[in-house]
Structure 1
């Protein structure tokens, strides 16, 4: 696929402790720094963009998930990753009007590897999952959620097809076992031209997502459009920065010995709890990469935060030496033009690029006019003083800049998705916006740990090990307490327990009917929903845009109060998920199954009817499910405690 000259130009170039840490991190939005860097500088490497994956002769992109030997910080590791690399290759989709993206996923493992995961940092309930089971999620895509629309001109043939000769859509409930494959087709423009932007792909297999993404199984998915052709952007130097956090220094990570081959029998990372440790941030699989750019150069940084579970505030400082062992306190302001692959309706200028797991940020950086070194510093709750994650050498020896002017704000804003539109709300046609839709239709509460529960005792060792799946069945425990929220949970319910009880879905909406949702969190979590982005209404955040704009992932914390969003379930019906994008939380059950139904489809919308013939929502409770009934009262009352209910909880 040929690209124009402007593209070539830019391509060459404990609870209390947790709460305290998150509050401190909030200062990364512009407060005074107390120090410069907290770590001794490690060796640097030369910055490189991820290689771009090219489609094969049949037009499909081939992704191979399997044991991958990679070198990081002078050591070799054997990781679960894509195409033998960390991170994965970039998939770039040129501008178009009827784009059908074929991706063939191959699982190159030959056997299962069942291991334990556990909530509450290992001290809560345990479950058993196959770390070699996988699938594929296009994070940020608005496409069919289950199966691609049947197209007689493009039938799926060969191994890995869905039933009836169809392709999979963005189907994250499908499982691709060792030795198996799956054929995906993402029809980007089926519901109008897909928004351009910086998205990404990664595995989404429940119970094993965190370990696989932590290993670096993540890659950029770039969808091009009119934004990329604007003056100030078209000739800017583009950098694709996929940030992962492989636990290279964790006590249970085992590098390869000299001469040792990487196989599925000697993988370096097998400890689920390593996700909780402080891990260095890699950019495109490299530690502290060093990039060079001309003075005055305008750069576009496409930043994908594939780390978890920590939030991170990134700032660009002027170095006091060429190794960034020290730097000026005052950071350089940058301009954000898009969040989560969605163009912003106005510039967001800040000295901090604040990200939570799953975020993307398109950042325009105007380089200084003289020769100097800049330090990109990341600060996280367990690294408040910060660590240098990249070094920028501004050097006249790098040649002439390809662009010296930032884009015009009005030009960028004109391409942003509108923040008001005409839709059907509660059966009435109306103008939909943050100001017009006042009724809260659905409430989502992200809880871990459960309020009032005792924090885990972290003084004792926790051992997670290989496991027999037969000893960890997903069954309903009849002796489980009714009036205690499971941990972790969404709205006092866990994904696995709802599946074990046979619920079809956990939350339903009607296609074409916008709804106002209230999202709350007890401590702090990134809320993410698949398929349809949501309109974020103005809020009190000091970390990211607080004007109305579109997102698919959003940080929610108690200190900022509830977040109001407008959901707009456009066109596509079917099942997908919403979850906390701290991926270990999602693996442990902090996820819901969402279904979009056609208007009037009672089988989809209702699990039955009550005595008066009214619909009992699929999101509701079975008559004997007392824990579900308690969960509803707890969610409705939150942040207040649920009212006493002797029928559920005794006097």
Structure 2
């Protein structure tokens, strides 16, 4: 790695201290290098003219689907620098396969996803470590890029190793052991990791995503665009009225860059509050009058809390966080914290025109218009499906059945906080920052637990746990209420608030993690291990 440390500035959002700004400018080719071929606009020829300039029409990510006969999807993904135009300016950003729209993966329950992740990011000399005072002294600690210790912080929890990576399949209920969803490994530059995810036959159908998850580099890599949609198709997809809808994948992304068009230092994570959709700023989402589309929304940002509202339109929700609802639900707004996903139907008004999709205003940050629906003159009368989707009692082998009182074997109270004082604090869970060699929590396979999550800080913390989803019992103080009984894998604990939930440990033993999905917080210590024992 050619990581040269700089000292990041302190901000409320990233709160980076000490080393952590690892510049790679010297090993980057010219940022102005042209982008390769892009996909054709998603709009049809009939609707394209009404959607403004063709290049502003929403571009769909490419897709790969599993072979229905082999029940297998084999895909190779390269972690590599992409050189392309972002909102009219040339950029150089880490990503998957060289562009801002990573491939959408489609599988079905019972399939195997064989994913080869090749780290083709540059490898350079040992990075220098910066001191808390901000002056690098060249005393790096090995090719993993771990910076020197800073009072109040351990080197592991100072952002580092920005070209080290791995893969997490966020939302999939699969084994946490290698070669499956084991996120405690490091894929170094020049290496390829061969992942194999055996998706259970009883897996719920819904929208998940895959993204980088190497502790220390997660925020910077995901903010750069290292995240793509991962769809498990099933019963909901077979409903005739839903199957007739155009399927629109929308990756909501951060993509902050400095004046050079790069993201090489944690200070840049705080540049602006923009939200891109599929690598585009405020794209046109083309719809005919009366058309119904299925939107698959992934909050793949590193720290944006979005409340989506579409002017003069509503949403019909199909599911959240990869878990289908039992029946459709009407919704005026959709709240998506970092890591959340939502699947909704949208029926276009009969009045042609432009309708802003607003990102809302949450926790002191306003996002404004992130996309614009362009309703064309052409009519396409479609029925908006409203009705049953799945049965939690009968489908998925009881995977989403409500967790009864008599299933609970223990309770936990888990506190999200911080220790130290500026400029040297770190984020914690139960008063401790992440330690790779800690035992962490232990639980028993085929049991269920009830957790109370408390937030002792002034910042919201989206709690995410790997492998098993959870059922929300109580959540207050959120921009959009979460009803009791909702199955999620990510939920926001509001400042000085709490959340109560239940989770089952089904099918898989082994170690995995839970953490804050404000990814700068995770990189700086807000993550813990949990091991399910057989």
Equivalent of 1:181 in 176, 184, 192: 192
- Give the alignment of 1:160-559 within 5 angstroms: 168-189=179-200, 192-248=201-257, 252-255=258-261, 268-318=262-312, 332-381=313-362, 384-397=365-378, 400-401=380-381, 404-409=382-387, 411-414=388-391, 433=403, 441-448=411-418, 450=419, 487-496=426-435, 499=436, 502-503=437-438, 505-522=439-456, 523=458, 524-540=460-476, 541=478, 543-558=480-495
User: 2:500: which partner in 1?
Assistant: 564
State the shift of 1:278 in Å: 2.5
CA contact (8 A) 1:79 1:215 kept: yes
The runs of 5 or more residues in structure 2 that have no matched partner are 1-8, 14-52, 133-149
CA contact (8 A) 2:403 2:503 kept: no
Measured in 2, the distance between the counterparts of 1:489 and 1:593 equals 12
Measured in 1, the distance between the counterparts of 2:274 and 2:349 equals 28
Measured in 1, the distance between the counterparts of 2:280 and 2:152 equals 34
Measured in 2, the distance between the counterparts of 1:115 and 1:570 equals 44
Measured in 2, the distance between the counterparts of 1:232 and 1:75 equals 41
**CA deviations over 1:172-192 (Å, ceiling 9, x no partner):** 111110000000111002xx4
Distance 1:380 1:342, change over 3 A: same
State the shift of 1:546 in Å: 1.5
Measured in 2, the distance between the counterparts of 1:305 and 1:65 equals 20
Distance 1:16 1:216, change over 3 A: closer
CA contact (8 A) 1:133 1:175 kept: yes
State the shift of 1:85 in Å: 0.7
Equivalent of 2:98 in 70, 84, 89: 84
Aligned length: 460
Measured in 2, the distance between the counterparts of 1:128 and 1:439 equals 37
CA contact (8 A) 2:273 2:367 kept: no
Equivalent position SS for 1:294: strand
Structure whose alpha-carbon radius of gyration is higher: 1
Equivalent of 2:56 in 45, 50, 57: 45
Distance 1:117 1:92, change over 3 A: farther
User: 1:109: which partner in 2?
Assistant: 121
Equivalent position SS for 1:527: strand
| Structure (1 or 2) with the greater helix fraction | 1
CA contact (8 A) 2:474 2:501 kept: no
Distance 1:570 1:376, change over 3 A: same
Distance 1:16 1:176, change over 3 A: closer
**CA deviations over 1:574-610 (Å, ceiling 9, x no partner):** 1111000001111111101111101xxxxxxxxxxxx
Distance 1:358 1:381, change over 3 A: same
User: 2:143: which partner in 1?
Assistant: none
Measured in 2, the distance between the counterparts of 1:511 and 1:407 equals 38
Distance 1:542 1:59, change over 3 A: closer
State the shift of 1:417 in Å: 8.3
Measured in 2, the distance between the counterparts of 1:517 and 1:115 equals 41
The runs of 5 or more residues in structure 1 that have no matched partner are 1-13, 19-41, 148-167, 256-267, 319-331, 424-430, 458-485, 599-651
Equivalent position SS for 1:129: coil
Give the TM-score, by structure 1 length.
0.65
Equivalent of 2:521 in 585, 594, 597: 585
Measured in 2, the distance between the counterparts of 1:419 and 1:520 equals 31
Equivalent position SS for 1:233: helix
1:140 aligns with 2:146: no
Equivalent position SS for 1:232: helix
State the shift of 1:110 in Å: 3.7
User: 2:81: which partner in 1?
Assistant: 67
Measured in 2, the distance between the counterparts of 1:546 and 1:91 equals 30
| Structure (1 or 2) with the greater strand fraction | 2
**CA deviations over 1:382-427 (Å, ceiling 9, x no partner):** 7755421111111133x635xx222232x2153688899699xxxx
1:99 aligns with 2:111: yes
CA contact (8 A) 1:314 1:376 kept: yes
Distance 1:75 1:489, change over 3 A: same
